[in-house]
Chains A and B, each alone.
Chain A
């Protein structure tokens, strides 16, 4: 049933992997838990992060999604000392994940809880106390149809997803109701990750054009607001199209716009 024996994980980085492939992690099963690896061997000490699309199995990692295998080495400043493996896959449908920041649309109020549509299989719930400075008497001003930027507190396949608009220290830090006007549209999840990458050229080039505000939700939704409707629509069109444009085409398009 399994697709052949496993191959070492490092050899398949950057290649297409299919569900059922086994990636062997060297040196972990040979060592005792007490002995530290001496010298610069292939397996650095530290926790290995097994990202989306991968699961633990005996001997290494099991692939559960098809896509390209990516790897990040252990380094300072990385969240996971010891490196990370994950599968870069493309999808349009969002599955709620704990800790993700998403844009939700308020579809209703049920008692003390708002119901939000986040593009997943179920609607998320958001308590009215989960805003900065909200108390039982001081309710937040949220109406049906408003846009909310929040993060998932609870998101697993067994329970209804729950969102909050404050972080662990009780501050809003940018979350909450997104203001008036602006334009909301949907793109694929891969593009969002591309735009949120640390040095994204698209965003840097766009920021040279005109002043605007941008909110990117991990569920594929983007909200843009600029001074005039025309500018807003230009930014929207560029963001939608840049998924399939090469870098030169994009620069040409932007040069035309900044010339206008």
Chain B
């Protein structure tokens, strides 16, 4: 019984994962290709020629707005509603120049220089929050030293004798 005639294992059994762990990568690839061929033979497919792709030429659109280039529907005249008039100017200039990037540069409340200044200090203050305790203490000591240094510069307040 022991060993001369090996029982033939079925193909399905050989395809199982635990049987393939010992195989080389090459034999694995071969098995995969064979499997793909088998699948493509069994699976049904339509034996038609490929249709020519005409869709890239024609876009279907159900709205009238791009066809006739319609304007924006909210309008105001002779200063009745100043916000809407501002909007009208904005939208008309957008459609003329077709530059959307321009909006970013419009009317900054804070100038760029001020932003840069604020960011400089902001990075420092928020950075302190995330320092470790030891580093925080060092910073704190540094601050104190600075303060103590400034003190002798100020005139020391001595006791003034009240004048009669």
* A, B co-complexed: yes
Which residues in A have their C-beta under 8 angstroms from that of B87? 173-174
Contact digits for A40-71, partner B, Cβ 8 Å, 1 yes 0 no: 00000001111110111000010000000010
Min C-beta distance of A37 to chain B, whole Å: 12
Which residues in B have their C-beta under 8 angstroms from that of A70? 67
A39 at the binding interface (Cβ < 8 Å): no
B47 at the binding interface (Cβ < 8 Å): no
Report if A213-B98 is in contact (Cβ < 8 Å); known contacts: A51-B61, A55-B60, A80-B66. Answer: no
Which residues in B have their C-beta under 8 angstroms from that of A227? 80
Question: What are 9 A-B residue pairs whose CB atoms fall within 8 Å in the complex?
Answer: A29-B54, A47-B57, A51-B64, A101-B73, A196-B68, A196-B71, A197-B69, A198-B71, A214-B74
Contact digits for B57-85, partner A, Cβ 8 Å, 1 yes 0 no: 11111111111111111111111110010
Instruction: Find out whether the CB atom of B56 lies under 8 angstroms from the CB atom of A47.
Output: yes
Which residues in B have their C-beta under 8 angstroms from that of A226? 80
Per the bound structure, the CA–CA distance linking A212 and B71 in Å amounts to: 18
Min C-beta distance of A99 to chain B, whole Å: 5
Q: Given A52-B63, A99-B63, A206-B77, output 10 extra A-B contacts at Cβ < 8 Å.
A: A50-B59, A52-B61, A52-B67, A55-B60, A98-B63, A173-B87, A174-B87, A196-B68, A203-B75, A216-B74
Instruction: Find out whether the CB atom of A212 lies under 8 angstroms from the CB atom of B68.
Output: no
Min C-beta distance of A226 to chain B, whole Å: 7
A185 at the binding interface (Cβ < 8 Å): no
Instruction: Find out whether the CB atom of A196 lies under 8 angstroms from the CB atom of B70.
Output: yes
- Using CB atoms and an 8 Å cutoff, list the residues of chain A in contact with chain B: 25, 28-29, 33, 47-52, 54-56, 61, 70, 72, 77-80, 82, 84, 86, 97-101, 149, 173-175, 193, 196-198, 203, 206-207, 210-218, 225-227
Which residues in A have their C-beta under 8 angstroms from that of B58? 25, 47-50, 56, 61
Residue from B53, B62, B69, B98 whose CB has the most chain A CB atoms within 10 Å: B62
Report if A97-B63 is in contact (Cβ < 8 Å); known contacts: A48-B58, A56-B58, A196-B70. Answer: yes
Which residues in B have their C-beta under 8 angstroms from that of A61? 58
Min C-beta distance of A216 to chain B, whole Å: 4
Residue from B61, B65, B78, B87 whose CB has the most chain A CB atoms within 10 Å: B61
Which residues in A have their C-beta under 8 angstroms from that of B70? 193, 196-198
Report if A213-B66 is in contact (Cβ < 8 Å); known contacts: A48-B58, A101-B73, A149-B73. Answer: no
Per the bound structure, the CA–CA distance linking A215 and B75 in Å amounts to: 6
Which residues in A have their C-beta under 8 angstroms from that of B69? 78-79, 197-198
Which residues in B have their C-beta under 8 angstroms from that of A54? 60
Instruction: Find out whether the CB atom of B80 lies under 8 angstroms from the CB atom of A49.
Output: no
Which residue of chain B has its CB nearest to the CB of A33? B53
Instruction: Find out whether the CB atom of A216 lies under 8 angstroms from the CB atom of B73.
Output: yes
Report if A174-B80 is in contact (Cβ < 8 Å); known contacts: A80-B59, A98-B62. Answer: no
B52 at the binding interface (Cβ < 8 Å): yes
Per the bound structure, the CA–CA distance linking A215 and B98 in Å amounts to: 24
Instruction: Find out whether the CB atom of B77 lies under 8 angstroms from the CB atom of A207.
Output: yes
